[in-house]
Structure 1
Amino acid sequence: MVAGGEFKVTVSKTEVVAAVLPLQEHWLPLSNLDLLLPPVDVSVFFCFHKPSLQSMTFASMVAILKKALAQTLVSYYALAGEVVLNPVGEPELLCNNRGVDFVEAFANVELSELNLYNPDESIQGKLVPNKKNGVLSIQATELNCSGVVVACTFDHRIADAYSINMFLVSWAELAQSKPMSLLPSFRRSVLNPRRPGCIDPALDDMYVPLSPSPSPKEPVGATHDDHLISRIYYVTKDQLNELQSLASANGCRRTKLESFSAFLWKMIAKCGATNSERTSKLGIVVDGRSRLSQGDSEKSRLMGAYFGNVLSIPIGGQKIIELEEKPLSFVANQVHAFLENAVTQHHFLALIDWVEAHRPQPALAKIYINGTDDGPAFVVSSGQRFPVSRVDFGWGKPAFGSYHFPWGGDAGYVMPMPSPLGNGDWVVYLHLLKKQLQVIEREASNVFRPLTADYLNLMK
């Protein structure tokens, strides 16, 4: 397998793709939950084998992508706009159909040679676009083997993973001349604050107003030769079942995500510097769509189609010595306990009210700017809805797809997704300190297995 840095990417064309129909220019405010996101970009990429149809060339594939994109942007008009600050300094979306930057490129590498285990070298700055303008950028790259990588980079303030997944599926459906299975909704009123508001004091432990903007801190436990890096592994179905079994005790069955997060928390605690009395923190991203619509079928329909951020990041803290010494079931119980209070309608309504009480002062999840006095911290974001099998533009399902999110925060970031093999395995993107990954690979190599071309059947 060649190292990711040993191939070159040559850009052949760059253009802007706008919605196929003219749109009335208008402003779209961000919701209170959007305002909790920092100005960071998220990338997602899909790897495709060479099409079986000989008539399907890279040029014809790009033509399909662009035509379908122009059609999709009619409904997903927010992605064709740009973010502008309003008079009080808050970001708003100007829906002006400026369009999406679309890059065509060639990479002199075979699909089977891509070092997907190390996306910092093989993907970052090569196969995913650097978004310079607007909300969304797209890159289509032809490989030596006539395989193709299609990648997007988007502004996280405008969309969460659920939203961008909706867009990807709609784009693929229109590429195959199918009707869109779900039309997006931008009805911000579903996330309006209450009058009067009702704020839960516990939110002050999860979110912090920013004044002035925080300066970047060296991540906890980092040394001059240590830094956050990205890796992609796979975890087998059998290993996930075993972790779930070990994490479930006394008749309390924990979910696979709770069990996996608890196991990873224990592993990362081993890298928690010399002071075992320090507290290590774990955040888990929770989608509020189903929580906000509890018992209301109409709101459930609206929230299911809602495009924007509907996220919260509840945080748990535990002393490193307890994480190291207690059994997995104990740690999984701690994960379940701090999640339990955040998977409710009350939590999300209170969070919307909390943001309203602090506006226009910006705010962030505390774990994003984890303090240097704390122990190691990381966030797990469940990507189980990642629709890799549904992103078929007409030349077959992706052989592989993943998010790529070196998010710029002080804490680590982890995204487990379903394996494209559909066998119950997980593909896991980890963005952690180098020494944390070294400990994980040394002590949990039976769980975290480097993603390879052989595993993904890319050799054909």
Structure 2
Amino acid sequence: MPLKRELEVKVSKTEVVAAALPIQEHWLPLSNLDLLLPPVDVGIFFCYRKTKELSFETMVGALKKSLAQCLIAYYAFSGQLVTNTSGEPELLCNNRGVDFVEAFGDAELMDLDLYNPDETVEGKLVPERKHGVLAVQATQLKCGGMVVSCTFAHQVADAYSANMFVVSWAEITQSRPISQPPSFRRSLLLPRRPTAYHLSVDSMYATISAFASPEDQEPAAEDDKRTALSRIYYVKADQIDKIQALANDEKCFGKRNRRTKLEGFSAFLWKMIVSGKVSAGDGYCKLGIVVDGRKRLIDGEESQEKLIASYFGNVLSIPYGEKKIKELKEKSLSWVADEVHSFLKSALSKEHFLGLIDWVEERRPHPALSRIYAARATEEEPAVVVSSGLHFPVRKIDFGWGTPLFGSYHFPWGGKSGYVMPMPSPKGNGDWIIYMHLLEEQLKMIETNAAHVFIPLSSDYIYSCT
């Protein structure tokens, strides 16, 4: 059941945790792909049940000690983001350290309303990043349970990199060696000489000055902020299978050409966010999907596989499609899934990512951004981005007191478009956890027209995970 009163979290201690060994101060430039990210922060949190063997103080002490060890390898997270002489962000690796917050929440884990993270997670269980690149918080709950969370600068790391970090941190806490040390080899993402790119990149990205009107550059009005809400749902495995089957309806695909679960889910979501519109007219709805370029850059070169697999930073692209709302409402799910596949495949190649790097190089130092991120999304013409968190390693984040009962990203990203992230359930049974940050009207449409698919997260579901 949802918490019947507002959750209060009181900070008891804040200190800075630096790398356990000295780090020679140096500059680490951001890659061209890092420069495509706006200055937004990403949160991630894990919920643990009470353990009889260890006190909160003991667990926090272990977290701090292992964090100091982990920052030796992940030294970028111990630095600072500064602006260089060209006006671009750059990493100063000076071992400034990570702000580590200890807090107490006046609720039991089973009473947390995680379906509504705006009230329980935002600014309470996930810390605000104030000075460094990364902030960490450990919150003790009334039941003796604990929430461990991080907030990091997206310009420095994508979700893949954050996943590597938290897995490494957990491994060190258990006195195990890091299974995948990070690589900061920026030479892997250097532009070519001469530069070259496909014209499709121009349709996905633009310099900020090219599309930002003066009102776009102003902070969002308070009324606008309130209309975007975060929610967490779960979707059962059989529903995901049904959606994929409908996305492949009446098609004779080979195994390699079938629409994936993510494509089917994205198509279903595309239809749902416009499902309640009575008169769509000639309005359009945009859908984007975040693509991780690491596997694309390998392109069969085994010598590059290990280097790229451990690369720490952003290796992302956001292709998107735009369709009339009327079409999305009337056409079959398989038709919409075909449209998803069509725009998605434009970014599924090594050449696309090399071209994207070159595209940024030609425009530096002018900042650029994904067009869908900066879209003037409205209730009449919505836009939403889907980012797959299906490799989220929630079942691996064991710091020595058991696997999490629950874990999720938290990313109310502040863009005009919505954001949706599917992640694996801690149950490991094929269910998905879905984090959504959408306009209130869109959430109402989803809950009205797809209540059998998107089930609000509850403590009953969380406690059934183990």
TM norm structure 1: 0.96
1:362 aligns with 2:363: no
Partner of 1:114: 112
Partner of 1:393: 399
Offset, 1:251? 1.5
* SS of alignment partner, residue 13 of structure 1: strand
* SS of alignment partner, residue 42 of structure 1: strand
* SS of alignment partner, residue 232 of structure 1: strand
Give, in whole Å, the separation in 1 of the partners of 2:417 and 2:406.
Answer: 27
* SS of alignment partner, residue 350 of structure 1: helix
Partner of 1:270: 275
Partner of 1:341: 346
Give, in whole Å, the separation in 1 of the partners of 2:72 and 2:24.
Answer: 11
TM-aligned CA distance change 1:224 to 1:363, over 3 Å: closer
1:173 aligns with 2:161: no
Partner of 2:131: 133
Give, in whole Å, the separation in 2 of the partners of 1:52 and 1:302.
Answer: 42
- Of the structure 1 ranges 401-410 and 293-302, higher mean CA displacement relative to structure 2 is found in 293-302
Cα distance per residue 1:33-73 (max 9 Å; x no partner) = 000000000000000000142xx000000000000000000
TM-aligned CA distance change 1:223 to 1:321, over 3 Å: farther
Partner of 1:229: 229
Give, in whole Å, the separation in 1 of the partners of 2:247 and 2:465.
Answer: 37
> Alignment identity in percent?
59
* SS of alignment partner, residue 146 of structure 1: coil
Partner of 1:160: 158
Give, in whole Å, the separation in 2 of the partners of 1:218 and 1:359.
Answer: 23
CA contact under 8 A between 1:234 and 1:425: conserved in structure 2?
A: yes
Give, in whole Å, the separation in 1 of the partners of 2:413 and 2:281.
Answer: 27
Offset, 1:352? 0.4
Offset, 1:223? 8.2
Give, in whole Å, the separation in 2 of the partners of 1:63 and 1:330.
Answer: 54
1:313 aligns with 2:311: no
Partner of 1:190: 188
CA contact under 8 A between 1:38 and 1:157: conserved in structure 2?
A: yes
TM-aligned CA distance change 1:459 to 1:235, over 3 Å: closer
Amino acid at match of 2:292: D
Residue of structure 2 aligned with 1:450, choices 427, 452, 456: 456
Offset, 1:2? 4.1
* SS of alignment partner, residue 321 of structure 1: helix
1:325 aligns with 2:325: no
Amino acid at match of 1:51: T
Partner of 2:263: 258
Give, in whole Å, the separation in 2 of the partners of 1:243 and 1:459.
Answer: 23
Cα distance per residue 1:420-446 (max 9 Å; x no partner) = 011100000000000110111011000
CA contact under 8 A between 1:273 and 1:375: conserved in structure 2?
A: no
Amino acid at match of 1:304: A
Partner of 1:286: 291
Partner of 2:29: 29
* SS of alignment partner, residue 356 of structure 1: helix
Partner of 1:64: 62
TM norm structure 2: 0.95
Residue of structure 2 aligned with 1:430, choices 432, 436, 454: 436
CA contact under 8 A between 1:112 and 1:459: conserved in structure 2?
A: no
Structure 1: state its 5+ residue gaps: none
Equivalent residues, number: 457
Give, in whole Å, the separation in 2 of the partners of 1:350 and 1:33.
Answer: 11
CA contact under 8 A between 1:82 and 1:134: conserved in structure 2?
A: yes
* SS of alignment partner, residue 209 of structure 2: coil
Give, in whole Å, the separation in 2 of the partners of 1:218 and 1:361.
Answer: 19
